[in-house]
């Protein structure tokens, strides 16, 4: 049974060669080689085009992008505070709407976008993003998730993968694993909690090709507040050679540790259905990153088990952690 | 401002006051916001300022103001919404009290460093813990070093008028600083006054449209705002803020002159009001609603032949250094009433005391100075308290300031 999805009227990029050539995030930044978060910037700006205003929360995508008064931004961009992603988008959207309604500026569609990191958006700014997703403004929040507070030298966040070594969670002789939190499920949490938000998605900048750009366009086209969570391999924080960024993203998705989906008007559409396509063992993903070098088989098995539960036992596999069907558990 | 006909025509052209109405301080501010035709309002509840937002929501619901009204999820979000609305060129309004003000403080700091001329109301309230609803000035005072315009209204009429005056000064191209308008919780926020409400037409002559110019965030003006600067430019940026605050002095003078021209001689001086100071030897200086009992105390003491006066300080930032120096230098002793505290500061005095005393230091002939900490957490400062403060200050005129120059007024000991 295929669900009936609303038709989103957007300009789809069908082939790589059809992607716009024009760049709105260009030279002038000093992000690391192989930085997938930088690619998220480049792609969302390309997909949204010049009639856009953006704010960026504090983080690598602020500090490494606009160092020493330089800027890679061709579109208008403004810094916002670490936890202010959602509110910055509301402020801009509200301002523009009021000015247009009162005839103070020309009426037109202006894309309002905020990007925040996993710490800024997923931890500190969660309440503000929730506020934004409850509003009736047209806005898009992109939470670019490099799984650490990267800018402050790689500290664990609520979205860091279980077991990872970070500067706040170093393995030691007494405690092998200092990071014992399971990754926070932000996209689904926001979708579940904001039933009038019409579009929530997870994405990777590079896998499948063009997917993130098209999701950006869908989010902007459908109207109202929308949210995209991107999965961004970070060579510095994850400790791997920059040449493998794209591959790691793909492995993360194929292993099922980062589920790729859209929730459109409450309906889940898998971008990569790990149940049908089969999941590769998470080991193949973990073992390529220095941040997991201290894990022993037991730890890898634990992570694998959790991922299996996500896909095999959750009512909405990979998305929502409700189990046991629609029956309410007996007391 | 540009009205070539100036004063003469104003009184006759059309009435500058629309109506008289009994309003409390919060409702008065809401009327100011309506008259300023604000575009975006962000609200979050905390006593005592909340009623400003209650009143505004009704004004909008009744179609008297066309504005976006956003109920934020926290003060931090509330202030960021206001800040970013301002960045796209919308006139924006926010406010808070006490602990809510502190919760959003990060956003207040950047509103100043981003040079966004929003207006915030502070219904002064004691900081937790333990909870208290009453007035205390430490919330708003925390802004004093942050590059804000900061002033206190003493009456509901002043509160309404300073929304208009505030936007005009803040948005002036020579200034571009956010403005905090403080008013004492309960004593002003919730006490009713007969008010004259300005006419819209007169307000539009006084307050030009907000124009952020080439810093406005819009696709037609694709700027990057606040890129990271590190050690390279911070000094210069701080200095630019400083220069703006200096230029604000001139802009403030212009704004009040224009206000007086349009609405009648309302403000003899922008920065502070003097009451019975002409031949005074001893004065008290305070901010906000304490001016009421203090002035009554002055009248009573004058009946006894005592040469006392009162100075109601309105503007705290920019601080009226020259003006206060010139004024206070005339007196034998000055007592400062601090409805706040500056723990661990010189002599463990209040914030206003520290600034006023430092301001007077270069004078060859300085008045003896004493400080009073009182009215914290909403405790009443009575006429009798004021008389006691005058007595202590007058004694300092005779004997010089005592070693213990700070007195807590109305403290249970
Ligand atoms: C209120 C506040 N607290 C702490 C910081 C310090 N800080 C700057 S960037 C950053 C990390 C942000 O992490 P994330 O949002 O994941 O973005 P990333 O750096 O990983 O791109 C922190 C903690 C700050 N700028 N503001
Ligand atoms: S540390 Fe990670 S997120 Fe930051 S610039 Fe480098 S690769 Fe990108
Ligand atoms: Mg991060």
- For A141, the token pair is 């929040």
Task: Give me the residue label for tokens 């460093």.
Answer: B113
Q: How many CA atoms lie within 13 A of A42 on its CB side?
A: 20
Mutate to test the interface with A, among B80, B104, B214 (most CBs of A within 10 A): B80
pLDDT of residue A323: 87
pLDDT in tens, A92-138: 999 999 999 999 999 999 999 999 999 999 999 999 999 999 999 99
User: How are beta strands B17-24 and B224-225 bridged, if at all?
Assistant: unpaired
pTM (2 decimals)? 0.96
Q: What angle do CA B142, B266, B284 make, to 5 degrees?
A: 50
For the beta carbon of residue B349, count every other beta carbon within 10 angstroms: 23
Percentage of residues of chain B with pLDDT beyond 70: 97
Residues of chain A with pLDDT under 70: 1-3, 325-331
Residue B151's contacts (CB-CB under 8 Å, 6 or more residues apart) are B162, B166, B179, B180, B181, B182, B314, B315, B316, B317
Residue B80 has its nearest CB partner, among A62, A71, A91, at A91
Domains of chain A: 16-312 (3.40.50.970)
Q: Which helix H or strand E contains A325, and what residues bound it? A: none
Q: Is A128 close to B73, i.e. CB distance below 8 A?
A: yes
Residues 53-72 of B with CB under 8 A from A: 66-68, 70, 72
| Position B12 in a domain | no
pLDDT (0 to 100) of residue B9 = 40
Protein residue with least CA distance to atom 4, ligand 2? A60
Question: CA-CA distance, B44 to A136, in Å (whole number)?
Answer: 18
Place of tokens 């009429």: B157
Query: Domain range for residue B361?
Result: 272-409
In CATH, what number is assigned to the domain containing residue B179?
3.40.50.970
With respect to residue B25, please indicate whether it lies within any of the assigned structural domains. Answer: yes
Whether residue B334 is found in the same domain as residue B404: yes
B224 touches chain A (CB under 8 A): yes
Last residue of a domain, one of B211, B243, B263: B263
DSSP codes joined into one string, A207-223? SSTTHHHHHHHHHHHH-
Do B311 and B403 lie in a common domain?
Answer: yes
Same domain, B156 and B53: yes
Q: How far is CA B337 from CA A324, B128, B284, B310, in A?
A: 67, 22, 7, 11
- HEC assignment per residue over B238-288: HHHHHHHHHHHHHHHHHHHHHHHHHHCCCCCCCCEEEECCCCCCEEEEECH
In a domain, B47, yes or no: yes
Q: In what order do the strands lie in the sheet with B315-317?
A: B68-71, B40-43, B92-96, B119-124, B179-184, B149-152, B315-317
Are B276 and B259 members of one domain? no
B372 Cβ contact partners less than 8 Å away, ≥ 6 residues apart = B335, B336, B337, B338, B350, B389, B392, B406, B407, B408, B409
The number of folded domains in chain B is 2
Kindly state whether residue B3 falls inside one of the protein's structural domains. no
Residues B328 and B289 reside in one and the same domain = yes
CA of A321 to the centre of ligand 1 (A): 28
| Residue at which a domain ends, from B238, B263, B288 | B263
Q: Max Cα separation, chain B? A: 68
| A87 vs B81, B230, B233: nearest CB | B81
Q: Is the pLDDT of residue B278 over 60?
A: yes
Q: Which helix (H) or strand (E) holds B196?
A: strand B192-198
B1 falls within a domain: no
Distance A159 CA to ligand 3 centre (A): 8
CATH code of residue B396: 3.40.50.920
Residue B40 placed within a domain: yes
> Is this complex scored with an ipTM above 0.95?
yes
B206 and B148 in one domain?
yes
Q: Which of B243, B263, B283 is the last residue of a domain?
A: B263
| Same domain as B43, residue B101 | yes
Inform me whether the pLDDT recorded for B170 exceeds 90: yes
Q: What is the DSSP letter of B343?
A: T
- Protein residue with its CA nearest to atom 11 in ligand 1: A149
Closest chain B residue to the Cα of A99, Cα to Cα: B90
B233 and B282 inside one domain: no
Task: Tell me how far CA of residue B118 lies from CA of A105, B83, B146, B168, B212, in angstroms.
Answer: 19, 7, 14, 10, 11
Residues B282 and B186 in one domain: no
C-beta separation of A19 from A209 below 8 A: no
Nearest chain A Cα distance for residue B70, angstroms: 8
Q: What is the pLDDT of residues A277-300, one digit of tens each?
A: 999 999 999 999 999 999 999 999
Residue B337, pLDDT > 50, answer yes
* Same domain membership, residue B290 and residue B254: no
Say yes or no: B221 and B313 in one domain: no
Residue A238 CA to ligand 2 centre (angstroms): 10
Region B315-324: what's the mean pLDDT?
98
């Amino acid at each position: 049974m295929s669900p009936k999805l609303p038709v989103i009227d957007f300009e789809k990029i069908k082939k790589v060669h059809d992607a716009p050539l024009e760049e709105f995030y260009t030279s002038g930044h000093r992000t690391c080689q192989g930085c997938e978060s930088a690619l998220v910037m480049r792609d969302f700006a390309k997909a949204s085009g010049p009639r856009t205003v953006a704010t960026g929360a504090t983080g690598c995508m602020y500090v490494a992008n606009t160092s020493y008064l330089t800027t890679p931004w061709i579109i208008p961009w403004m810094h916002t505070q670490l936890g202010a992603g959602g509110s910055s988008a509301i402020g801009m959207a509200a301002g523009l709407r009021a000015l247009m309604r009162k005839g103070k500026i020309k009426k037109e569609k202006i894309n309002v976008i905020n990007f925040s990191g996993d710490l800024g958006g997923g931890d500190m700014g969660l309440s503000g993003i929730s506020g934004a997703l409850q509003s009736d403004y047209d806005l898009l929040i992109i939470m670019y998730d490099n799984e650490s507070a990267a800018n402050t030298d790689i500290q664990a966040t609520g979205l860091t993968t279980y077991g990872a070594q970070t500067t706040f969670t170093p393995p030691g002789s007494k405690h092998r694993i200092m990071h014992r939190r399971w990754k926070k499920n932000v996209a689904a949490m926001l979708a579940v909690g904001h039933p009038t938000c019409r579009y929530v998605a997870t994405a990777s900048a590079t896998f499948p090709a063009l997917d993130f750009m098209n999701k950006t366009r869908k989010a902007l086209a459908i109207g109202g507040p929308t949210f995209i969570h991107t999965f961004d391999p970070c060579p510095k924080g994850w400790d791997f050679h920059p040449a493998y960024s794209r591959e790691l993203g793909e492995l993360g998705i194929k292993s099922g540790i980062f589920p790729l989906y859209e929730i459109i008007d409450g309906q889940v559409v898998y971008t990569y259905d790990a149940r049908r396509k089969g999941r590769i063992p998470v080991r193949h993903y973990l073992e390529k990153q220095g941040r997991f070098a201290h894990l022993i088989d037991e730890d890898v098995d634990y992570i694998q088990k959790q991922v299996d539960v996500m896909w095999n036992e959750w009512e909405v596999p990979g998305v929502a952690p409700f189990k046991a069907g629609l029956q309410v558990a007996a007391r | 401002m540009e009205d070539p006909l100036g004063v003469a025509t104003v009184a006759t052209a059309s009435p500058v006051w629309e109506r008289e109405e009994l309003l409390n301080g919060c409702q008065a501010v809401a009327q100011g916001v309506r008259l300023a035709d604000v575009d975006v309002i962000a609200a979050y509840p905390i006593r005592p300022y909340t009623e400003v937002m209650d009143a505004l929501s009704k004004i909008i619901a009744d179609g008297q103001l066309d504005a976006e009204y956003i109920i934020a999820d926290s003060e931090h979000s509330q202030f960021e919404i206001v800040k970013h609305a301002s960045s796209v060129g919308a006139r924006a309004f926010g406010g808070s009290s006490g602990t809510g003000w502190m919760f959003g403080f990060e956003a207040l700091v950047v509103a100043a460093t981003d040079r966004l001329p929003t207006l915030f109301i502070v219904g002064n309230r004691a900081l937790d813990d333990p909870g208290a609803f009453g007035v205390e000035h430490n919330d708003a005072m925390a802004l004093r070093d942050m590059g804000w315009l900061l002033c206190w209204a003493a009456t509901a009429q002043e509160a309404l008028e300073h929304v208009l005056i505030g936007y005009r000064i803040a948005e002036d191209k020579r200034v571009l600083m956010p403005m905090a308008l403080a008013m004492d919780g309960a004593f002003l926020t919730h006490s009713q006054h007969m008010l004259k409400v300005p006419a819209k037409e007169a307000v539009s002559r006084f307050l030009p449209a907000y124009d952020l110019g080439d810093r406005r965030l819009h696709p037609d003006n694709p700027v990057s705002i606040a890129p990271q600067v590190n050690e390279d430019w911070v000094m210069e940026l701080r200095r630019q803020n400083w220069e703006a605050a200096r230029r604000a002095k001139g802009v403030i003078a212009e704004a009040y002159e224009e206000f007086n021209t349009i609405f009648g001689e309302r403000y003899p001086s922008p920065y502070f009001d003097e009451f019975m100071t002409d031949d005074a030897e001893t004065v008290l200086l305070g901010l906000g609603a304490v001016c009421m009992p203090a002035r009554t105390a002055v009248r009573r003491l004058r009946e006894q032949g005592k040469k006392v006066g009162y100075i109601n300080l309105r503007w705290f930032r920019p601080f009226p250094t020259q003006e206060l120096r010139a004024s206070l230098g005339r007196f034998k002793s000055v007592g400062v009433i601090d409805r706040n505290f500056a723990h661990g500061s010189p002599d463990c005095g209040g914030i206003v005391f520290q600034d006023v005393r430092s301001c007077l230091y270069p004078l060859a002939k300085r008045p003896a100075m004493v400080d009073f900490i009182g009215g914290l957490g909403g405790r009443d400062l009575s006429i009798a308290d004021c008389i006691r403060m005058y007595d202590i200050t007058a004694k300092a005129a005779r004997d010089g300031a005592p070693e213990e120059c700070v007195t807590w007024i109305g403290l249970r000991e």
